[in-house]
């Protein structure tokens, strides 16, 4: 028996409160940024230098791009793609194979476009297959764990567990180590991908469907939005993001090995954990339906800042991985405390 | 009625932030009495029930048991004083046996008890609630929902509860199962238990209670003797005004222009293929208890349930929907019976819910920049009397009645030719019910064919122009307009073949 109010305009204060309520987590994250930043300025040497900031956004870009891909999976209620680093691994090997050998035809050796397309194609195929099984009703954790084993195994088998080298100069340098207007190419890629992802989520029907299906799969099916096609698309987006990061990383290293993303990557070791941490720290709901890629991007920069500071303070990789683990736990606690009020209660 | 009340609540109030859920509520119950507790959604019923059962210690006012002031901090303290509550959502463990569920807390059970010992101990309690034929070693999930409710009550009795609170025990049950619950309630009261019976179903309230407490906007409206008032009076007290006519008048005549023809449809749960037609602009009711097949037929027309055979003919096209999205493309909308499960996106804003089936209509080339969606959803909201100011609230924050309006209203966005509704008003208060009925009638008058399934006998008698009855997976009969009579329908959906008299 709610009365209809003809006045469509909300009072400003209501709008502001609504805005703030929706963004409690964002506000918390931003204040944490400020704390980190001030701490860095006063207590860490070499913190406030341009070189250091470039290092931070470069690190953030690598796992940030993968995390943006993973955000689509998480928002759509399909939990996580646990084969992140294995997908990157096989795509990296594919790319290096193309650059080094041209897949057996010497004419193509070193051809950047062919190698890139081959790596992306591997990403698409693995994403579609895993998405298909999840869409058919498979548990995403089990399906993608299985996928992880298979993808890693094929990459290691194909490359004989060897490091595949290709020498400089090569056509992929611009992506690996090049920069444009003072920022590394990979950072530009991160910015462009982040903007594109945010537009897709906010302003397209596909983006809306991601949220709706993530909020309630059964209601999604009843309104004509099935998780089957959704799972295939989001897993493919995520896998392609992995492939792209792998290509950029391999181009930077001039070589690839199937273990690169387990041990050598970045500074905090295991890439899958790092990327999942990024999505979590951004404050996206694990159950789906709530969050954004903007949060993920901020999460990536936040983790990179913390990690960078720990490096400058002289911590080795052990404590830094502990740091990432703590951030996951912390974000779950914060999310549990603050998201409850805004989530629907029966 | 000169006995002293064993439970008495006077001048209780409770505030949550700025919202006053209860103010000046009074309540009492005598030994061996069945007290009805009624009120609209949001009138404070559940708050009062929570206070009585010890879930909510933060209230102001006096709470006496046997003339002694009490203060419960937790539900278990209330239980020690003999107060137990059976919630609407059952708290049984589905894959454990009946006996194990009854003695779940382990009180009064020896350290090493076999299932047989438990079964023997459970027997008397099961007999008391009328489950004489149920073997205590059966797993809970093999029982019907109604039987599960009875087990839940048996569990409460096993803990020597003297005052039982039953919160909407029949909300999810069909007619026959509801009757079993009512019989049990009367038997327990005869054995000296006091029962607080909370329900939206006014016919039940009138059937079994001696006195009724009515809540309106958090204020108790005095205790009424059941024999002194009638339904209209009760509803008037509940709403604070007269409910002119809950049901809109039926159509003058039924058009003979078939809109939707259902041929040989045969979903799971239905015994034999079903064929019928629905005419343009009519409201067709499918009547039957849970498991009668009425709901299944509806779901399979919508593509939500697979049918083994058959076809639909709509607008000259013959097809069998394979999925909800297929049916939606053919302009068939389906509002399911469980809005929380597959009707609403509870965590998403109302406007997203309203436009969810018709994203194509609010976007250009797949892009959506808000303004057309805004207008679109606001128009839908106005049509269904949903508060336009709340469009950006999460739909889970709405009351049951408003949630149902959103669940139903979102289907107007696809401009349906056929609107299927399963249980249009389950868990909805009287006021919202009447609004929903009015809207359904208006939509039918606009030419939309509406088919609904319901277990609510009032609804099935007064709302539709035509009724088809179902019993145990079979189509029994069809009635039109003034030939729709409650006793006849009741007979056909509970005992069409005179089996009970054999």
State pLDDT tens for residues A21-32.
Answer: 556 666 777 777
**Which chain A residues are within 8 Å of B394, Cβ to Cβ?**
342-344
Q: What are phi and psi of B224, to 5 degrees?
A: -105, 140
Q: How confident is the model at residue A5 (pLDDT cuts 50, 70, 90)?
A: very low
- The answer, for A13 touching chain B at a CB cutoff of 8 Å, is no
Q: Tell me what pLDDT residue B252 has.
A: 77
User: What is the architecture, at CATH level 2, of domain B258-342+417-494?
Assistant: 3-Layer(aba) Sandwich (3.40)
pLDDT at B393: 82
Cβ atoms of A207 and B363 closer than 8 Å: no
pLDDT tens track for B274-288: 999 898 889 999 988
Nearest-CA distance B157 → chain A (Å): 28
The pLDDT of residue A67: 94
Bigger pLDDT: A230 vs A182: A230
Is A216 touching B (CB cutoff 8 A)? yes
Instruction: Say what the pLDDT of residue A342 is.
Output: 39
Residue of A nearest to B304 (CA): A222
For A31-73, write each residue's pLDDT tens digit.
777 887 788 778 777 777 888 888 888 888 988 999 999 999 9
**Residue A330, CA atoms < 13 Å, CB-side half-sphere:** 16
Binary contact (A343, B396; C-beta < 8 A): yes
A229 in reach of chain B (CB within 8 A): no
Q: Mention every residue, 6+ apart, whose C-beta is less than 8 A from residue B502.
A: none
Chain-chain contact of A4 with B387 (C-beta, under 8 angstroms)? yes
Q: How far is B411 from chain A (nearest CA, A)?
A: 9
A226 touches chain B (CB under 8 A): yes
Q: Is some CB atom of chain B closer than 8 A to the CB atom of A222?
A: yes
Confidence band of A346 (pLDDT split at 50, 70, 90): very low
Give the three-state DSSP class for B459.
helix
pLDDT score of B17: 65
Angle at B435 between CA B434 and CA B439, to 5 degrees: 115
Query: Hey, are the CB atoms on A223 and B328 less than 8 Å from each other?
Result: yes
User: Which phi and psi (to 5°) does residue B410 adopt?
Assistant: -60, -25
Determine whether the interchain pair A5/B389 forms a contact, defined as Cβ–Cβ distance below 8 Å.
yes
Calculate the average pLDDT of chain B: 83
Name the β-bridge partners of B277: B261
Cβ neighbours of B432 in A, within 8 Å:
1
Q: Give A79 to chain B, closest Cα distance, Å.
A: 17
B346·A216 Cβ contact <8 A: yes
Mean pLDDT within B32-53: 83
Q: What are the E-state strand segments in B87-242?
A: 163-167, 194-198, 211-216, 219-225
Closest partner CB to B396 (pick from A4, A204, A345)? A345
Chain A residues within an 8 Å CB radius of B334? 222
- Does any CB of chain B come closer than 8 Å to the CB of residue A223? yes
If you average pLDDT over every residue of chain A, what do you get? 83
pLDDT for A244: 95
- A325-334, B95-104, B452-461: segment of lowest average pLDDT: A325-334
A222 and B359 within 8 Å at the Cβ level: the answer is no
B7-239 CATH pick, 3.30.465.10, 1.10.287.4070, 3.40.50.300, 3.40.50.720: 3.40.50.300
When CB atoms are compared, the residue of B347, B370, B389 closest to A343 is: B347
pLDDT higher than threshold 90 for residue A118: yes
Angle between helices A24-43 and A317-339 (to 10 degrees): 150
> Does the beta carbon of A346 lie under 8 angstroms from any beta carbon of chain B?
yes
Looking at the DSSP assignment, which residues form a beta bridge with residue B312? B262, B319
- Structural domains present in chain A: 45-338 (1.10.3470)
Query: Do the Cβ atoms of A224 and B378 come within 8 Å?
Result: no
How close B283 comes to chain A (CA, Å)?
22
Q: Which residue has the higher pLDDT, B271 or B108?
A: B271
pLDDT bin (cut points 50, 70, 90) of residue B32 is: confident
Q: Does A21 touch chain B (CB under 8 A)?
A: no
Within chain B, how many helices (H) and strands (E) appear?
16, 20
Q: pLDDT-derived band of residue B373, with 50, 70 and 90 as boundaries?
A: confident
Q: Which of B1-15, B288-302, B421-435, B439-453 has the highest mean pLDDT?
A: B439-453
Residue A238 has what pLDDT?
96
Start-to-end CA span in chain A (Å): 20
pLDDT surpassing 50 at residue A6: no
Residue B425 φ/ψ, nearest 5 degrees: -130, 35
Partners of B20 in the β-ladder: B15
Residue B118: which of B106, B131, B130, B133 has the closest Cα?
A: B106
Q: What is the rounded average pLDDT of the residues B155-170?
A: 85
Q: Which residues of B touch A204 (CB under 8 A)?
A: 363, 366-368
User: Cα distance from A226 to chain B (closest Cα, Å)?
Assistant: 8
Phi then psi for residue B351, to 5 deg, are -65, -35
Chain A's closest residue to B303, CA to CA, is A222
- The pLDDT value given to residue A1: 35
- What residue ranges do the domains of chain B occupy? 7-239, 258-342+417-494
**Does the bond joining A169 to the residue before it have cis omega, within 30 degrees of 0?**
yes
Among A150-154, A287-291, A325-329, B28-32, name the most confident range.
A150-154
Q: Does position B140 have pLDDT exceeding 50, yes or no?
A: yes
Left, alpha or beta for A303 (phi > 0: left; psi -120 to 50: alpha)? Answer: alpha
Q: Give the residue, A25 or A9, on which the prediction is more confident.
A: A25
Residue of higher predicted confidence among B3 and B461: B461
Residues counted in chain A: 346
Does residue B222 carry a pLDDT above 90?
no
Neighbours of A262 (CB within 10 A): 17
Q: Looking at the partner chain, which of A203, A221, A344 has a beta carbon nearest the beta carbon of B346?
A: A344
Q: What percent of chain A shows pLDDT beyond 70? A: 87
Domains B7-239 and B258-342+417-494 share a fold: yes
- For the beta carbon of residue B458, count every other beta carbon within 10 angstroms: 17
- Say if residues B486 and B457 touch (Cβ distance below 8 Å): yes
Strands B311-314 and B258-265 come out as: antiparallel
The average pLDDT across B379-400 equals 81
Select the residue of A18, A215, A223 nearest B347 (Cβ to Cβ): A215
| Residue B417 to chain A, least CA–CA distance (Å) | 16
């Amino acid at each position: 028996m709610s009365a209809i109010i003809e006045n469509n305009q909300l009072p400003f204060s209501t709008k502001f409160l609504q805005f703030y309520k929706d963004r409690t987590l964002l506000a918390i994250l931003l204040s944490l940024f400020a704390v980190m930043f001030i701490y860095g300025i006063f207590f860490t040497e070499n913190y406030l230098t341009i070189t250091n900031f470039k290092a931070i956004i470069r690190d953030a870009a690598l796992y940030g791009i993968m995390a943006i891909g993973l955000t689509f999976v998480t928002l759509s209620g399909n939990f996580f793609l646990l084969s992140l680093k294995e997908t990157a691994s096989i795509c990296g090997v594919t790319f290096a194979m193309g650059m080094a050998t041209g897949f057996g035809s010497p004419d193509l050796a070193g051809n950047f476009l062919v190698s890139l397309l081959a790596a992306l194609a591997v990403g698409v195929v693995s994403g579609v297959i895993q998405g298909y099984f999840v869409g058919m009703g498979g548990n995403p954790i089990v399906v993608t764990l299985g996928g992880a084993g298979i993808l890693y195994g094929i990459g290691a088998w194909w490359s004989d567990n060897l490091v595949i080298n290709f020498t400089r100069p090569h056509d992929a340098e611009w992506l690996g180590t090049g920069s444009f207007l003072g920022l590394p190419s990979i950072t530009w890629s991160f910015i462009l991908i982040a903007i594109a992802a945010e537009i897709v989520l906010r302003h397209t029907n596909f983006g809306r469907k991601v949220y709706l299906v993530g909020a309630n799969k059964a209601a999604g099916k009843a309104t004509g939005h099935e998780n089957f096609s959704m799972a295939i698309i989001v897993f493919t987006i995520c896998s392609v993001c992995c492939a792209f990061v792998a290509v950029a990383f391999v181009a930077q290293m001039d070589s690839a090995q199937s273990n690169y993303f387990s041990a050598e990557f970045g500074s905090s070791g295991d890439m899958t954990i790092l990327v999942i941490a990024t999505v979590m720290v951004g404050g996206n709901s694990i159950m789906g339906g709530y969050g954004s890629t903007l949060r993920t991007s901020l999460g990536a920069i936040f983790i990179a800042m913390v990690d960078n500071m720990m490096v400058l303070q002289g911590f080795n990789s052990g404590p830094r991985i502990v740091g990432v683990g703590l951030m996951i736990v912390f974000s779950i606690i914060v999310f549990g405390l603050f998201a409850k009020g805004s989530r629907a209660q029966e | 009625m000169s006995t002293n009340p064993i439970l008495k609540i006077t001048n209780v109030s409770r505030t949550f932030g700025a919202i006053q859920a209860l103010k000046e509520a009074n309540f009492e119950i005598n030994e061996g009495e069945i007290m009805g507790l009624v009120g609209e959604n949001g009138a404070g019923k559940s708050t009062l029930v929570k206070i009585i059962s010890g879930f909510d210690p933060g209230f102001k006012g006096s709470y006496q048991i046997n003339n002694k002031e009490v203060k419960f901090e937790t539900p278990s303290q209330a239980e020690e004083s003999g107060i137990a509550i059976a919630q609407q959502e059952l708290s049984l463990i589905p894959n454990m046996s009946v006996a194990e569920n009854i003695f779940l807390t382990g009180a009064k059970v020896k350290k090493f008890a076999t299932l047989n010992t438990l079964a023997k101990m459970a027997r008397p309690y099961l007999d008391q609630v009328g489950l004489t034929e149920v073997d205590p070693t059966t797993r809970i999930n093999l029982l019907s929902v109604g039987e599960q409710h009875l087990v839940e009550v048996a569990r409460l009795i096993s803990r020597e509860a003297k005052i039982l609170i039953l919160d909407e025990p029949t909300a999810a049950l069909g007619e026959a199962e509801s009757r079993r619950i009512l019989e049990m309630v009367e038997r327990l009261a005869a054995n000296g238990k006091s029962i607080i019976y909370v329900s939206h179903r006014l016919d039940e309230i009138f059937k079994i209670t001696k006195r009724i407490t009515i809540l309106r906007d958090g204020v108790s409206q005095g205790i009424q003797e059941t024999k002194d008032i009638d339904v209209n009076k009760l509803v008037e007290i509940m709403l604070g005004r007269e409910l002119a006519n809950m049901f809109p008048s039926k159509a003058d005549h039924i058009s003979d222009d078939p809109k939707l023809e259902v041929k040989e449809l045969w979903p799971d749960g239905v015994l034999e293929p079903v064929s019928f037609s629905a005419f343009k602009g009519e409201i067709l009711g499918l009547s039957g208890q849970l498991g009668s097949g009425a709901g299944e037929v509806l779901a399979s027309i919508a593509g939500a349930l697979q049918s083994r055979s058959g076809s639909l003919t709509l607008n000259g096209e013959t097809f069998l929907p394979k999925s909800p999205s297929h049916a939606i493309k053919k302009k068939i909308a389906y509002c399911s019976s469980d809005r929380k499960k597959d009707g609403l996106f509870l965590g998403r804003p109302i406007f997203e819910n309203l436009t969810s089936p018709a994203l194509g209509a609010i976007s250009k080339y797949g892009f959506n920049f808000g303004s057309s969606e805004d207008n679109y959803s606001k128009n839908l909201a106005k049509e269904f009397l949903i508060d336009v100011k709340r469009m950006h609230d999460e739909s889970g924050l709405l009351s049951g009645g408003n949630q149902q309006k959103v669940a139903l209203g979102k289907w107007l966005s696809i401009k349906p030719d056929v609107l299927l509704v399963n249980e249009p008003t389950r868990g909805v208060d009287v006021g919202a019910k009447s609004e929903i009925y009015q809207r359904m009638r208006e939509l039918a008058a606009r030419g939309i064919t509406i088919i609904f399934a319901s277990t609510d006998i009032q609804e099935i008698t007064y709302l539709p122009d035509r009724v088809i009855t179902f019993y145990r997976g079979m189509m029994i009969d069809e009635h039109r307009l003034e030939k729709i009579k409650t006793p006849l329908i009741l007979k056909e959906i509970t005992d069409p073949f005179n089996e009970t008299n054999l």
